[in-house]
Amino acid sequence: MSNNKLLVGIIMGSDSDLPIMEEAVKVFKEFNIGYEVKILSAHRTPHQHSEYSKTAIDRGLKVIIAAAGGAAHLPGVTAAHTTLPIIGVPIKGKSLEGMDSLLSIVQMPPGVPVATVAVNGAKNSALLAVQILALSDDAIHSKLVDYKKKMEKASMAKNEKVEF
């Protein structure tokens, strides 16, 4: 957990997802945004997961990122228990190259939306959370504008290295 005001929850069904989700943590550290990381399985710890999701708003969370592989129920079950925006990160597993996870997360029923990023797209999940938070926080918005300018400058600098 970071020392900043808690705004984002990062949950995953297994600690095997931690190496992927570290990319999201790096983004929140860069933006100085408070986050927490929890291992909560929709299947193995359903009661703890339900309690986490139902109390998220009371704890100050504004967005939850839920990473899951295989059947990938965690993002959808989380969305069923809260009104917070949920961002699903499909995790590439040992079979099907993450397509099973991707399809499980994007095929939510009407009324239970989950935003979904690319397979193993932890960095983009964090940046999407930053964009959501920036809508109501001028300091985060300013950092986001600076981040985008830095990204643009780095991209344009690559033109100087192109030789044919």
Residue type, 108: M
8 A C-beta contact, residue 27 and residue 126: yes
Q: What integer is the mean pLDDT of 5-33?
A: 97
> Phi and psi for 64 in degrees, rounded to 5?
-125, 130
**Chain centre to alpha carbon of residue 87:** 5
Side-chain half-sphere of 146: how many Cα atoms within 13 Å?
Answer: 8
CA dihedral sign, ordered 128, 129, 132, 136? negative
Q: Where are the alpha helices (DSSP H) in 4-121?
A: 18-31, 46-55, 74-81, 99-106
Please indicate, yes or no, whether the overall pTM of this predicted structure exceeds 0.85: yes
Tell me, what's the pLDDT at 3? 59
Radius of gyration of the chain from its Cα atoms, rounded to whole angstroms: 17
Residue 161 buriedness (CB in 10 A; 0-12 / 13-18 / 19+): exposed
Three-state DSSP at 110 gives coil
- Residue ranges of domains in the chain, CATH in brackets: 6-161 (3.40.50.1970)
User: What are the tens digits of pLDDT across the range 27-74?
Assistant: 999 999 999 999 999 999 999 999 999 999 999 999 999 999 988 999
